[in-house]
């Protein structure tokens, strides 16, 4: 039986490359097979078959028989996927441990000094970048909120308010406890009433009927700006596009006055 394109697309989504997908499905159809047989069946170059099958074995999708020639045994898909999940968790835990150890070592201080010395050479106009995907935007916001020293101003949509709450409420509360002034302009909408009520415990929130049509942006310390370029109602989170700029001009002379003017009308 040949797998459908829908199956191959789903396997791609869980991290299997094209050759891995072809060889695994081919092996499932045979139960056990040699690399040569699978190469012909899956139409994968013979020169790549061994290393791809080894990769599948490391991920938990196949078992290798130490015979001559080597043979490969299929694992029931549900069990293979369970093994793959455990392998990912184990690898992730190990990597997090290594990164944590690195963070706490003198080596990080050495890298920080290199970074600071390099930043002294950068022109202000070069401190900007595009952020592809909602995750990238929230990661950048997290970094900025953590480092905030004086003020944070946010204008957002209903969906943006929900994401702000789920991703950054604790950070903004912590920033507020350190004396950072947090202001949020959100839509006048019942669907965000719970989020608004929560934020009002540590931030000043104003609501407007027009907010949903005015976009999304955040200004931090009059120096950093994150500005969404796409409509969060019309694009998938992975296709959301925004930009970040470390620019006093944009923060204080362009978006800052725009935010303040709108704030004062509410």
User: All domains of the chain, ordered by start, with CATH?
Assistant: 5-75 (1.10.10.10), 125-265 (3.30.870.10)
Per residue in 210-253, pLDDT tens? 755 678 999 999 999 999 999 998 899 999 999 998 888 889 98
What percent of the chain stands above pLDDT 70?
95
Where is pLDDT greater, at 196 or 124? 196
Q: What are phi and psi of 135, to 5 degrees?
A: -60, -45
Q: How confident is the model at residue 1 (pLDDT cuts 50, 70, 90)?
A: low
Beta-strand runs (E) in the chain? 32-34, 62-65, 71-74, 128-132, 151-155, 181-187, 204-208, 217-220, 224-228, 241-246
pLDDT of residue 240: 92
What is d(CA 136, CA 134) in angstroms, rounded to the nearest whole number?
5
Between the alpha carbon of residue 224 and those of residues 42, 210, 232, the distances in Å are 51, 24, 21
pLDDT of residue 120: 62
Q: Residues, the chain, total?
A: 266
Per residue in 90-140, pLDDT tens? 999 999 999 999 999 998 988 888 877 765 655 555 557 889 999 999 999
What is d(CA 65, CA 226) in angstroms, rounded to the nearest whole number?
54
pLDDT of residue 212: 56
pLDDT of residue 121: 59
What is d(CA 85, CA 57) in angstroms, rounded to the nearest whole number?
13
DSSP classification of residue 128: E
Residues 6+ apart with CB under 8 A from 165: 195, 198, 199
Between the alpha carbon of residue 260 and those of residues 203, 209, 236, 266, the distances in Å are 16, 17, 30, 10
Angle subtended at Cα 169 by Cα 232 and Cα 129, rounded to the nearest 5 degrees: 50
pLDDT of residue 27: 93
Do 147 and 206 meet the contact criterion of CB atoms below 8 Å apart?
no
């Amino acid at each position: 039986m040949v797998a459908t394109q829908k199956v191959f697309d789903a396997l791609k989504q869980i991290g299997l490359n094209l050759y891995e997908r072809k060889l695994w499905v081919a092996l499932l159809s045979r139960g056990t097979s040699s690399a040569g047989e699978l190469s012909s069946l899956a139409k994968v170059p013979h020169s790549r078959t061994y290393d791809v099958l080894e990769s599948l074995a490391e991920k938990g999708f196949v078992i290798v028989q130490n015979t001559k020639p080597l043979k490969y045994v299929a694992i029931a898909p549900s069990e293979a996927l369970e093994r793959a999940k455990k392998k990912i968790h184990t690898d992730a835990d190990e990597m997090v441990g290594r990164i944590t150890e690195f963070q706490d070592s003198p080596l990080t201080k050495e890298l920080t000094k290199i970074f600071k010395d390099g930043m002294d050479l950068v022109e202000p106009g070069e401190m900007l970048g595009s952020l592809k995907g909602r995750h990238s935007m929230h990661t950048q916001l997290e970094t900025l909120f953590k480092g905030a020293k004086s003020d944070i101003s946010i204008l957002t949509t209903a969906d943006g308010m929900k994401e702000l709450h789920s991703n950054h409420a604790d950070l903004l509360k912590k920033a507020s406890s350190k004396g950072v002034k947090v202001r949020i302009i959100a839509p006048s909408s019942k669907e965000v009433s719970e989020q608004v009520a929560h934020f009002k415990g540590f931030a000043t929130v104003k609501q407007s009927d027009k907010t949903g049509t005015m976009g999304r942006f955040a200004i931090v310390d009059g120096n950093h700006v994150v500005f969404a370029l796409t409509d969060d109602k019309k694009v998938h989170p992975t296709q959301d596009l925004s930009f970040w700029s470390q620019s006093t001009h944009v923060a204080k002379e362009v978006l800052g006055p725009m935010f303040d003017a709108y704030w004062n009308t509410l």
